[in-house]
Amino acid sequence: MISTTRHLADGREIVYFDSARRPRDAVDTRDLPPVATRSQVRWDPLLGEWVVIAAHRQTRTFLPPTDQCPLCASTPARATEVPEAEYEVAVFENRFPSLSLSVDRDVPPNADGTPLVTLRPGEGRCEVIVFTSDHDRSFVDLGAERARLVVDAWAQRTEALSAEPGVEQVFLFENHGEEIGVTLAHPHGQVYAYPFLAPRVQRVLTQVAAHRAATGGDLLAEVFDAERTGSRVVTANEHWTAFVPGAARWPYELTLVPHRRVPDVAALTDAERDAFVEVYLDVLGRFAHRFDAPMNYISSWNQGPVSQTVDGAGREDWWLHLQLFSFRRAPGKLKYLAGSESGMGAFVSDTSPEGVAEELRAVVLP
C-alpha cells in the first residue's frame, strides 16, 4: 500500500491509498471558504454519556443527483472533494464534521441553567473514506484486492488518529442504503475520532470488569470462544468467524471476530487482514442476496480505547470485533426503533438469532 497526503482548497487533508505508486499531484481548484466548526460535547449526568452537539451539520449535502456527486473523481468540467481524475481509495476530512481538531474552543463550562450538564469543545476528527471512484459499485462488489486496500486504509487511519492528543477511541463504519439514512449514494464509509469512549465501548468494559471481579474470568474471550463453536456460526476461516450473536438486537445481525485477540484493525497481521476480506465479502454477499433486493446495513468496527479504562478494564482487555446489521426484517418491512427501543433502550427483536443464522447459511452466493 502506498499512501500520499495532499490538501484541499480549504486546507483539509486528503490521503490517497494506492496498490502501486502513482503521482497524486492534482490541485483542488475550488474557491472554498475555511471550515468553521462550533461543535460541543455535553455530559448527560443521568446516563453518564457524552452527547455531541453539531448544529452546523443541518446544511450538509443531502442525496445529490449522480452528476453532482461530491465523491466522484474530478473532471475538467467539475471539481469535487477528490481532485484526482481517478483514484483507488481516498480519505479526507469531512467538510461538515461533527468533531474537529480545529474546533472553536470558546464554549461555556456548562449548559445554560444546568450546572450538571458540563460542556467541552467538540475536539476530535471526522473523515470520509471513499472505497472506489466508481459511483455505482458497493463494497460487496469491490473484489478482494480493493477490499484489502480499504482494510489497510482503516488500519492506517486508526493508527494515525489514535496518536492525536485527546482522542480516546477511533470508530470506523459504513452506512449502506438510503433506508439507513445515507446522505451520499457513492460507496463510502466514515472515521470518527472521539474525545471520549462511546457508550457501547464503555458499557462492554464495565461488564468485562464486573465479570472479572465476580468470577475471575475473561468475558470477551468466553463469549467469543463459545460463539465460534455454536449453532449460530454463519461462516468462518482460519482467522475469523462470523456468527449471529445469541442476544441479537437487529433483525439481521452478525458479529465478525478474529481468532487472535487484538485491540484494533491496525494490530491485525497481513494474513488476518486477508482472511477478514474473505469472510467479510462472504457475509456482505449473504446480506445482498437474502431477499430479492440487497439489504441496507451498518458495518461498525468495535475498536478498543486508546488509553481510558473503565473500572480498571481497558485496551489490554479489548477484543476487536465488527458488527454488521440491517434494519430489514422482511421483504418490504423495516425494523423501526419505536417506544421500547427509542424510549427505554430495551430492544424487542422481530427475528430469532438461530433462525437468522440458518437463513444466512442457506443463501446461495453467485
Domain ranges of the chain: 2-197, 200-362
CATH fourth-level superfamily of 2-197? HIT-like (3.30.428.10)
Residue 173 φ/ψ, nearest 5 degrees: -155, 160
Q: Grid coordinates standing for 331? A: 421483504
- pLDDT at residue 333 in the model: 93
Q: Grid coordinates standing for 277? A: 476480506
Q: Is the pTM of this model over 0.85?
A: yes
- pLDDT at residue 269 in the model: 98
Choosing from 186, 188, 239, 321, the catalytic residue is 188
206-260 pLDDT, tens digit each: 999 999 999 999 999 999 999 999 999 999 999 999 999 999 999 999 999 999 9
Cα separation, 335 vs 328, in Å, equals 6
| Class level of CATH domain 200-362 | alpha beta
* Mean pLDDT, rounded, for 148-169: 97
Other CB atoms within 10 A of residue 55 CB: 9
Whether the CB-CB separation of 252 and 357 falls below 8 Å is answered with: no
Catalytic residue status for 259: no
Cα separation, 6 vs 200, in Å, equals 34
Cα separation, 128 vs 72, in Å, equals 13
Residue type, 181: G
Same fold, 2-197 and 200-362: yes
Q: Grid coordinates standing for 9? A: 482548497
